[in-house]
Amino acid sequence: MLTAEMIEESSFYQMVLEKGVEKGMSAGRVQEARRLLRLVLDQRFPGLEVPNAVEALNDPDRLEGLIKDLLAAPDAGSARSILQRL
């Protein structure tokens, strides 16, 4: 009979656990990037709303790129153009 310890030490279990941790970390990164994007918009361009398309983005690198672009935007019109590219 397999014990919990034997299962936990198996390579398959370790692989599944690692994949789960990676997915959790990626999801956390996406959530944090969305939060930062909202914060940047609120602070730099208070009249602009976060488009619904932002919620559909699941790529943390793309979200971080948007944040960088918004931080560099000289005015609300430029920021609006950046957000319309979504």
pLDDT tens digit sequence for 13-51: 777 767 777 776 677 889 999 999 999 999 999 989 888
In the block, residue with structure tokens 């990676």? 22
pLDDT of 73 above 70: yes
DSSP 31: H
Q: What pLDDT does 17 receive? A: 67
Segment 69-74 mean pLDDT: 96
Q: In the predicted model, what is the mean pLDDT of the chain?
A: 87
Q: State the Cα–Cα distance between residues 15 and 13, nearest whole angstrom.
A: 5
Q: Is 45 helix (H, G, I), strand (E, B) or coil?
A: coil
Residue in 68, 73, 70, 64 with CA at minimum distance from that of residue 31 = 64
Pick the more confident residue, 2 or 65.
Answer: 65
> What is the value of pTM for the model shown?
0.72
Q: Is 39 helix (H, G, I), strand (E, B) or coil?
A: helix
Task: For the chain, state the CA radius of gyration.
Answer: 19
